[in-house]
Structure 1
Amino acid sequence: MVEVKVADGLTVGQVAEASGVAASAVRFYGQHGLISSVRTSGNQRRFGPDAACRVKVARVSQRIGLTVAEVAAVLAELPSDPTPADWGRVHDALVAEAEARIGDLRTQLQLLSSGELLCQL
């Protein structure tokens, strides 16, 4: 991982490398409010030290079916300098959401397996 002074902030490329996504994904998440940045005097984006973690959480959230807007709402609940307890609450919320979605999918699978015609479900 690239080391950078926290005071300098992380570049788009550094966040991309640390989070395992393309730079375009970092920009996408920034545009949708999942991560925030400041601009340098040279008009370059600089991200805070938790940006890569936020991107990773966003990716996991999307894999369980959350929309970008829903992910933004989850991450909006975090303070600007989240503690491990703050991240724990996000973890618990995502686990609960995943379990609820799995339950809904199981219900739909049971309906599909019932032998009824699709238009009668």
Structure 2
Amino acid sequence: MYLSHQYVAALTGASTSQVQRFAAQHRLAPLVERAPGPCPLPTPARATLDGRPWREHIDFHEVPHLMRHLGTAAAVICLYLTGMRPQEVQNLRSGCCPDPQPTADGIPERHLILQPPLQERHR
């Protein structure tokens, strides 16, 4: 186990180099190895499974793994629900599927996926 300089810096507002210097000056590495602890992110985990919270918190060190799962799930959903080819899904950009506007009777229209202008597609 090791001291997560990025996590401590984000919580304290210090730079990572300040955290590194402080940890070295106060010899924190052996302490962290003897008594490692979690690095909970302040973002609440609101999802539920069968009515129970999915988890209490998301740990800083789990984020890359969870991001990979989220990206995979999003790709599967986009491919399955839209019928798009993989290359089309890979070319989607942020904001390409805005929230649908409700009709006069208050029922939302269907979601539309908008292609970026041609000049933006080839950047």
Provide TM-score, normalisation by structure 1: 0.25
Higher helix share: 1
Larger CA Rg, structure 1 vs 2: 2
Provide TM-score, normalisation by structure 2: 0.24
